[in-house]
């Protein structure tokens, strides 16, 4: 599928209208990529001409395109799509050099075949600050005092990562917390806001928070509804693109912290059918490495760091530097990968489904501190009939009930994505430890039927 990008001149107080254009049955259709409240970013950067800004716009377009092209409609094998796209950029001479690396990076991230070209941005002014805006409403930033830049999603992992960094700050230093909000998926914004309200009590004046609003419209401009893919695999590159754009102004660091437990980052497949493109790779170490190589080519020397790449979620919870604040805030965080899909939930008042892998890792991790007290849409621990279980749950129990050696884990990791050989042993141990966390949780809290299936006492 070929996607053309249309960018129109900016209007007062707004980012340029941006459209993703595709041809469907001989008819051109346009979907708007909404980049709203851009002043939140511009107040910090004061520019739209850098390579960092180019990367932000590229990442936003990738995110919108990923959402636009439903795999049900556009994949040739039920999953993989062929995507041809031309990105408009301000610094085209740099980006032309990075085509091959960026294609490989996006291909690994989304599981698709990307064919990329670049063109010189035709529109010179992409954002016009609102003329009548009060100066008192424009925030001021002391850039040299910013000690770190971290992604802040509203999930448990980013919560722990940010608590650890804020807890260790010297007086006068601050952290910059970077978030994303898509109006189609409203949950994360509320999670972030609730956590920040608690942070104001514990970490007052120790952080600044900037949130970007990027999302694809629900309908084409002719009124037809868009069938979205909604997997959000590319959200990680948008998150990083936002942070990279802001990082341009920070003189004290070139690092973006991306807190994510190593188990989810590696995403060891539960079954053979979940390897390759079917296995999500949003924070996989190979994706980080390939993206970093792509950015270095365009002279964006950014270091992408996951401080928990060798840690299980349980280890993160137990080792958090400020358990008091974590205990207050973890109930406000959400880890669920299927929130909002409540049709089959027994408790539709819950915030999290309880049976996706992120939920299961979360519950097993919190159990290590005796904090597994949240309410979930479905309680895996009360399941009595495996025949009625969802496919993900069946796959999990097949995985947990099958003996697997460290050698087999290593082989699976290599098949699922290029892993640095120097870290292979550590990664294999990490996968083993994550299995142990789940089994211990089920042993301590599961019903007799589950224990019988897994042959644990």
Model pLDDT for residues 64-90, shown as the tens digit of each residue: 999 999 999 999 888 899 999 999 999
CA 366, 370, 375, 378 torsion-angle sign? positive
> Does pLDDT of 247 surpass 70?
yes
What band does 341 get if pLDDT is binned at 50, 70 and 90?
Answer: confident
Q: Specify the higher pLDDT residue, 134 or 443.
A: 443
Cβ atoms within 10 A of the Cβ of 197, count? Answer: 11
Quote the pLDDT of residue 65: 97
Residue 159 three-state SS = helix
Q: Which of 32, 29, 53 is nearest to 183 (CA)?
A: 32
> Does pLDDT of 279 surpass 60?
no
Average pLDDT estimate for 164-174: 96
44 and 249 Cβ atoms separated by less than 8 Å: yes
> Does pLDDT of 276 surpass 50?
no
Q: Specify the higher pLDDT residue, 414 or 161.
A: 161
Domain boundaries, the chain: 335-454
Quote the pLDDT of residue 10: 94
Greatest CA separation found in the chain? 69
* Total H helices, total E strands in the chain: 17, 10
CA 346, 351, 356, 362 torsion-angle sign? negative
How far does Cα 114 stand from its chain's mean position?
20
Quote the pLDDT of residue 137: 83
Q: What is the pTM of this model?
A: 0.94
Quote the pLDDT of residue 273: 52
Q: Which of 84, 88, 173 is nearest to 124 (CA)?
A: 88
């Amino acid at each position: 599928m070929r996607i053309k990008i249309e960018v129109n001149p900016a209007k007062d107080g707004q980012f340029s209208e941006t459209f993703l254009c595709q041809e469907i049955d001989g008819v051109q259709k346009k979907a708007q990529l909404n980049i709203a409240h851009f002043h939140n970013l511009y107040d910090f950067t004061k520019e739209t001409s850098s390579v960092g800004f180019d990367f932000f716009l590229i990442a936003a377009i990738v995110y919108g395109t990923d959402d636009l092209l439903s795999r049900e409609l556009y994949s040739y094998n039920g999953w993989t799509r062929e995507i041809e796209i031309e990105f408009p950029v301000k610094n085209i001479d740099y980006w032309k050099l990075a085509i091959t690396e960026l294609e490989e990076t996006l291909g690994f991230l989304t599981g698709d075949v990307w064919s990329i070209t670049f063109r010189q941005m035709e529109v010179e002014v992409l954002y016009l600050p609102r003329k009548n805006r009060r100066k008192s409403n424009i925030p001021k930033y002391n850039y040299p005092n910013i000690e770190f830049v971290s992604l802040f999603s509203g999930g448990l992992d980013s919560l722990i990562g940010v608590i650890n960094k804020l807890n260790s700050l010297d007086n006068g230093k601050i952290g910059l917390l970077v978030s994303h909000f898509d109006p189609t998926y409203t949950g994360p914004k509320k999670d972030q806001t609730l956590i920040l309200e608690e942070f104001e009590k514990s970490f007052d004046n120790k952080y600044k928070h900037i949130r970007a609003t990027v999302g694809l419209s629900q309908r084409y401009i002719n009124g037809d509804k868009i069938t979205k893919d909604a997997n959000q695999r590319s959200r990680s590159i948008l998150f990083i693109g936002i942070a990279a754009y802001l990082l341009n102004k920070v003189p004290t660091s070139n690092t973006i912290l991306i807190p994510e437990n190593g188990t989810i980052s590696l995403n060891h497949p539960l079954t053979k059918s979940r390897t390759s493109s079917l296995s999500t790779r949003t924070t996989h170490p190979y994706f980080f490495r390939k993206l970093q190589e792509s950015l270095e080519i365009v002279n964006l020397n950014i270091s992408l760091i996951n401080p928990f790449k060798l840690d299980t979620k349980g280890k993160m919870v137990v080792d958090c530097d400020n358990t008091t604040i974590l205990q207050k805030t973890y109930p406000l965080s959400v880890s669920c990968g299927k929130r909002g899909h409540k049709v089959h939930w027994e408790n539709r008042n819950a915030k999290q489904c309880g049976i996706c892998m992120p939920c299961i890792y979360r519950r097993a991790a919190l159990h290590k501190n005796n904090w597994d007290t949240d309410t979930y849409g479905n309680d895996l621990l009360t399941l009595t009939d495996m025949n009625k279980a969802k496919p993900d749950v069946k796959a999990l129990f097949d995985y947990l009930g099958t003996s697997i050696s460290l050698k087999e884990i290593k082989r699976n990791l290599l098949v699922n994505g290029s892993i640095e050989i120097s870290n292979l042993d550590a990664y294999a141990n990490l996968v083993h430890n994550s299995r142990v966390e789940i089994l211990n949780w089920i042993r301590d809290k599961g019903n007799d039927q589950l224990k019988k299936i897994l042959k644990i006492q």
